[in-house]
């Protein structure tokens, strides 16, 4: 008998999830943007799924964006902030040196486009010390990205403390919570994250489905900083 012990890499699909997916794929084929009966039934199912994710994260329903997985969620968060804040002159990004490749590779791509990037060292337990982040912050820092739980050594970062430091300097904070959601409590408000990535296949959901939680605060900060960068415009 073979026993599967690699649940941090991926998990088997839970039977109730399979049953629900089979039913929806078979019967609920309407376009959720359509106003007719079939479309509205599909929209109701989509809204129900979005509400379930919001409840899991203690987030607002309107803050949940569906993606194809954790990698796209990370890319969406990092590239989205970079492009949105480029006009403000903030062109500095910070991450820990032990982030998932989805973050590190995106940092490399943005560096080739002229962004300055800083990778923070960690201690012997894999922790990013708050004072290390504080020393790396500048007035040009647009975003800090530090994962909630590391995918290789399991270290849980002091995300709430790190987010406070980022916000104090006017930067946004993103956390890759792919390894922590549904395994330990994740309250996006308590964490203070403006953007949070997750992936369903890590907790018995289907592969090819992810989420990005994007706080309205992130949009408001982008709007304010854009206005500051364009004096005289309303």
pLDDT at 221: 56
Tell me the mean pLDDT in the region 184-206: 96
Residue 220 predicted with pLDDT over 80:
no
Domains and CATH numbers, the chain: 60-229 (3.40.640.10)
pLDDT at 229: 53
- Please, which residues have CB within 8 angstroms of residue 1's CB and are 6 or more apart in sequence? none
209, 66 in Cβ contact below 8 A? Answer: yes
pLDDT at 234: 38
56, 85 in Cβ contact below 8 A? Answer: no
CA dihedral angle for residue 177, residue 156, residue 51, residue 27, rounded to 10 degrees: 60
CA dihedral angle for residue 153, residue 154, residue 156, residue 162, rounded to 10 degrees: 40
Phi and psi torsions of 144, nearest 5°: -120, 135
pLDDT at 219: 57
Give kind and range of the element (H or E) at residue 79. helix 70-85
* Average per-residue pLDDT for the chain: 92
Tell me the mean pLDDT in the region 78-104: 95
CA distances (Å), 50 to each of 43, 122, 145, 212, in order? 10, 35, 24, 11
- Please, which residues have CB within 8 angstroms of residue 16's CB and are 6 or more apart in sequence? none
pLDDT at 216: 66
DSSP assignments along 83-148, one per residue: HHHGGGT--EEEEETT--HHHHHHHHHHHHTT-EEEEE---TTS---HHHHHHH--TTEEEEE--S
Q: How do strand 210-214 and strand 64-67 relate by DSSP bridges?
A: antiparallel
pLDDT digits (tens, 9 = 90+) for 98-146: 999 999 999 999 999 999 999 999 999 999 999 999 999 999 999 999 9
With 0-12 CB in 10 A as exposed, 13-18 as middle and 19+ as buried, what is 220?
exposed
pLDDT at 215: 77
Q: For the chain, what percent of residues have pLDDT higher than 90?
A: 88
Long-range contacts of 114-119 (CB under 8 A, 24+ apart): 115/82, 115/91, 116/91, 116/92, 116/140, 117/92, 117/93, 118/92, 118/93, 118/94, 119/94, 119/95
pLDDT tier for residue 18 given thresholds of 50, 70 and 90: very high
Residue 233 predicted with pLDDT over 50:
no
pLDDT tier for residue 223 given thresholds of 50, 70 and 90: low
130, 162 in Cβ contact below 8 A? Answer: yes
- Reported pTM: 0.90
Tell me the mean pLDDT in the region 189-217: 92
Structural tokens at position 226 = 């854009």
């Amino acid at each position: 008998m073979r026993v599967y012990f690699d649940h941090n890499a991926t998990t088997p699909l839970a039977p109730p999830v399979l049953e629900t997916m089979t039913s929806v794929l078979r019967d609920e084929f309407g376009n959720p943007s359509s106003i007719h009966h079939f479309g509205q039934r599909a929209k109701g199912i989509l809204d129900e799924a979005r509400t379930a994710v919001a409840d899991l994260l203690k987030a607002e329903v309107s803050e949940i964006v569906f993606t194809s997985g954790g990698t796209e969620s990370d890319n969406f968060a990092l590239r989205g902030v970079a492009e949105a804040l480029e006009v403000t002159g903030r062109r500095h990004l910070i991450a820990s040196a032990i982030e998932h490749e989805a973050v590190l590779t995106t940092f490399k791509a943005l560096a080739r486009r002229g962004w300055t990037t800083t990778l923070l060292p960690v201690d012997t337990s894999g922790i990013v010390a708050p004072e290390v982040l504080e020393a790396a912050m500048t007035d040009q820092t647009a975003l800090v990205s530090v994962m909630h739980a590391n995918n290789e050594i399991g270290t849980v970062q002091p995300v709430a403390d790190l987010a406070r430091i980022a916000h104090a300097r006017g930067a946004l904070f993103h956390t890759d919570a792919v390894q922590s959601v549904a395994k330990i409590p994740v309250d996006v408000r308590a964490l203070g994250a403006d953007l949070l990535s997750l992936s369903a296949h890590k907790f018995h959901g289907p592969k090819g489905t992810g989420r990005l939680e994007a706080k309205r605060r992130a949009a408001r900060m982008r709007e304010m900083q854009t206005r500051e960068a364009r004096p005289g415009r309303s």
